[in-house]
Chains A and B, each alone.
Chain A
Amino acid sequence: MQHSSTQDTLVGLFVASGIVGLFFLAMQISNLSSFVEADGYTVKARFQNAGGLKIKSPVSVAGVKIGQVSAIQLDDDHRALVKIKINNQYNKLPSDTSASIFTAGLLGEQYINLDPGGMDEYLKENSEIDITQSAIILEQALGQFLFKKSAEKK
């Protein structure tokens, strides 16, 4: 048995390394760090079809992530009402910005791309994006393509 104060130190180091390890797992490996940047404003957008969009899907402008989807609901006209939370530092988006749902890669996850317009007014808390483009559903696109092909043959 070693001297007890050395033992105390080693046990202390052991427990501390466990706590540091959990902190590392939380911050570096899981998505806990993305909860910290919660400051932002929420805007709404209505889509005919939200496709595979999920809560926490990224929202980007020109490929830069500026926020994330915070809620997806069905509104009274049976359209998808998507609430988007945008970080406060990006508060200079024109009010005629358009939103479209894109897919990252052929099979990747879906995200919202914002295309800034040219108005002088800016989007703020609770404003709505009017110009939207729905998700492209692969089956629908294929169906339309085949339909067009068969129509051309006749």
Chain B
Amino acid sequence: MLQLFQNLGHATLASFSKLGRASFFLLHALSGLPKLLLRPRLLINQLYSVGVLSFLIITISGLFVGMVISFQGFHILSDFGAEETLGVMVAASLVRELGPVMTALLFAGRAGSALTAEIGLMKATEQLSGMEMMAVDPIQRIIAPRYLAGIIAMPILAILFSCIGVLGGHLVGVSLLGVDDGAFWAQMQSKLDFRDDILNGVIKSIVFGCTVTWIALFEGYDTIPTSEGVSRATTRTVVNSAFTILGLDFILTTLMFGDN
């Protein structure tokens, strides 16, 4: 019995101390951002590996998600004779929810895991300690550019996901199932608001970008420096990111769209 409480206490303290370390880590990384502006080359390298290399998986997923929503939506809406609102359904669900959330989940799998493995391996091979020996701050030099790149890349990827998704929905809805082209766009434009729908979606994806990149970088930095430790940290990145994204999405949705 005593053992049980001991374990519970240990687990609680461990998770608090991890949260504390993660917060200090974040503050330290943020303090490196101003210096980063003097060396944009570091940022461009990271934008390439985090953003440009994720481009293909995001756009292809967006295309298929848009096509599937359009297909399913058409069959339900045609029961009510409301096929013309298909455009609203596809665009609203993509811009508000699926764009930011799916992008963040894919980003965690594609770029987040790579960041954790890279940082973890740097730690395991003592490259980070080597930098400290040379009086280079590894958090400012290695972590900060990756963090900023994640925050910039996520909203861009989410916007692209939504755009391609709408085009995919248009392809299936208009070209394949025969919804009227004009009604598809016109209903969409009359029902979706720029600030309420599109900007809120972009804000969501910026929040997800901060969170996912933070989790990925911290798990890598905090890893046990063995090959097993790195593999576990990579798994934790993907699992924790997915939980955090979905939980945060619920909170953000109730805050943004709760009153209408």
Contacts and interface: CB of A to CB of B under 8 A. Distances in A.
A31 B189 contact: yes
B47 interface: yes
Interface stretch (B16-24, B111-119, B160-168): B160-168
A33 B159 contact: no
B55 A29 contact: no
B36 interface: no
A76 interface: no
Nearest to B91: A29
B193 A31 contact: yes
A32 interface: yes
Contacts of B44: 7-8, 11
A17 interface: yes
Interface residues of B, number: 30
Interface of A is mostly: helix
Nearest to A16: B156
Interface string A14-48: 11011001101110111111100000000000000
Nearest to A24: B163
A144 interface: no
A14 B55 contact: yes
A22 B193 contact: no
A25 B48 CA distance: 24
Interface in B24-62: 41, 44-45, 47-48, 51-52, 55
Interface string B184-207: 010011101110011000100000
B150 interface: no
B47 A14 contact: yes
Given A11-B47, A29-B166, A30-B192, A21 B198 contact: no
Contacts of B91: 29
Interface of B: 41, 44-45, 47-48, 51-52, 55, 91, 95, 152-153, 155-157, 159-160, 162-163, 166, 185, 188-190, 192-194, 197-198, 202
11 contacts: A1-B45, A8-B44, A10-B52, A11-B47, A22-B198, A25-B159, A26-B198, A28-B185, A29-B95, A29-B189, A30-B197
Interface of A: 1-2, 4, 7-8, 10-11, 13-15, 17-18, 21-22, 24-26, 28-34
Given A11-B48, A30-B189, 8 more contacts: A2-B48, A14-B156, A17-B160, A21-B162, A22-B198, A28-B189, A29-B188, A30-B194
